[in-house]
Chains A and B, each alone.
Chain A
């Protein structure tokens, strides 16, 4: 269970997050949606201790973010940041291999290597395994980073817009894989999505953020309404219900 209590965050005196409290129980896919600049990435970064916490408290099971040992946290929670910068010397296999670092700390076992190969196979990276990252297309690189996060094999996965640059097939495959992890391995996935239709199709729960606050929370079919789209995103995209699921007509 991830528990966020009274989390507030300022950058240069400007309030970015305001008093956020939310609990994400173990298992399931939670989508985090909201307009640009709402604070989604900041929230995820704070959960994954990528930026230092200012106010409030975040716990992942019994681990307290910012206090517990970093190595323990790295085996419990993995994050895929929104912007990843690629060190050019690395090949795809090297990069994905780093996902196992929290376990082997520099001395990979045969099991670690097997997991890396498996991760590359799942995300269609085997033909690219020896290519260096700076020779890849945007989507191929994104897949490599997703695979690295995947092989970290943690109970909690935080993904910040993982569908960036991915084509339709890769996007659906990734979402199906996450669904599978949640349903069959009791993994917990928190995922930032901009495409509401992906959120309603694959998530169990939708958290809506605007201007640093949580403004809606619940099952996709309850939360995603035309009024919400209008008030949160300030655009009048019509909504249809197809097979019991709300679909935004873009």
Chain B
């Protein structure tokens, strides 16, 4: 039954992708396809990364309201990037190979995230309000430190970090596509291999321990993958706050199952449909007055409030 829904979602994504590639081409089709193909690839990568990161995070933290973005994962990424620019200086930073830079940032991000969020998960497990508050405070703190650093650097350096500080689906960094695709696909592959473990981890720490799947180890591994996925997505489009939540909420609605073998690909497909379809509609149908990020963030924000209110009532 869920297989059919996955198939339908795949067809929908295919339709969106074809529409995005082939409608409204002016001038050389070849050039347009090259240009649009890269952007399409970037959107698909971002979509899958955000979706899978959100679903995995909700599974290991045992709730359906928090996502990596709400907990400040992307703020951490921007902070690491800013700190690197401050430490090296903009000219030296820009001399470095962007692919290598991204790898380094992603690695630092993994280490920091496992320390910070690993601790948070262990201390706050089962206490949603505490996790939420700590996460929000943490995100604000990380953003403030970033803001402080950005204020003390000079304008040329600021221009370098600024690109990474705002979401922009329409101008995804396509020059990082190669490294991003490699990192993202690697992480997605490993996430797929974890699908059965994630099913067990979702039962909670007690049941998963007694079934031979100690939560600490699984959480650490999932956090590593989430960090890579968030790093890739943030490097490509900048931080997005509520998009992951919008996707995960829709996923649970469309695919009400506990099985990550369905949830992971399903969420990636839904995410792709929203991003590619949304980008196509905004660019070609509504002639691009509102950026997609504004729309999805608004919808995601509404979902966040609704879920929060529902969660608080229970």
User: Taking beta carbons and an 8 Å cutoff, which residues of A are in contact with B?
Assistant: 48-50, 70-75, 78-79, 81, 84-85, 87, 89-90, 94, 98-99, 101-102, 105-107, 152
In the bound assembly, the distance between CA atoms of A50 and B211 in angstroms comes to 11
Contact check, B210 vs A101: say whether CB atoms are below 8 A apart: no
A-facing residues in B2-22 (Cβ within 8 Å) = none
Contact check, A50 vs B210: say whether CB atoms are below 8 A apart: yes
Total contacting residues, chain B, CB less than 8 A? 19
CB within 8 Å for A70 and B258 given contacts A85-B204, A98-B200, A101-B200: no
Q: Does B157 have its Cβ within 8 Å of any Cβ on chain A? A: no
- Chain B residues positioned under 8 Å from A72 (CB to CB): 212
Contact check, B257 vs A89: say whether CB atoms are below 8 A apart: yes
- Chain A residues positioned under 8 Å from B197 (CB to CB): 106
With beta carbons under 8 angstroms apart, the residue of B200, B206, B212, B257 that contacts A50 is B206
Extra 12 A-B pairs, beta carbons < 8 Å, given A87-B203, A94-B258, A98-B207: A48-B209, A70-B209, A70-B213, A73-B212, A74-B211, A74-B213, A81-B206, A87-B258, A101-B200, A105-B196, A106-B199, A152-B211
User: Taking beta carbons and an 8 Å cutoff, which residues of B are in contact with A?
Assistant: 195-197, 199-200, 202-204, 206-207, 209-214, 256-258
Contact check, B258 vs A90: say whether CB atoms are below 8 A apart: yes
- Chain A residues positioned under 8 Å from B206 (CB to CB): 50, 81, 84
A-B contact pairs, 17 of them (CB 8 A): A70-B212, A74-B210, A74-B212, A75-B212, A84-B206, A84-B207, A85-B204, A87-B202, A89-B256, A89-B258, A98-B199, A98-B203, A98-B211, A101-B212, A101-B213, A106-B195, A107-B196
In the bound assembly, the distance between CA atoms of A72 and B212 in angstroms comes to 8
B200 → chain A, closest Cβ, in Å? 6
Contact check, B209 vs A49: say whether CB atoms are below 8 A apart: yes
- Chain B residues positioned under 8 Å from A90 (CB to CB): 258
In the bound assembly, the distance between CA atoms of A56 and B58 in angstroms comes to 36
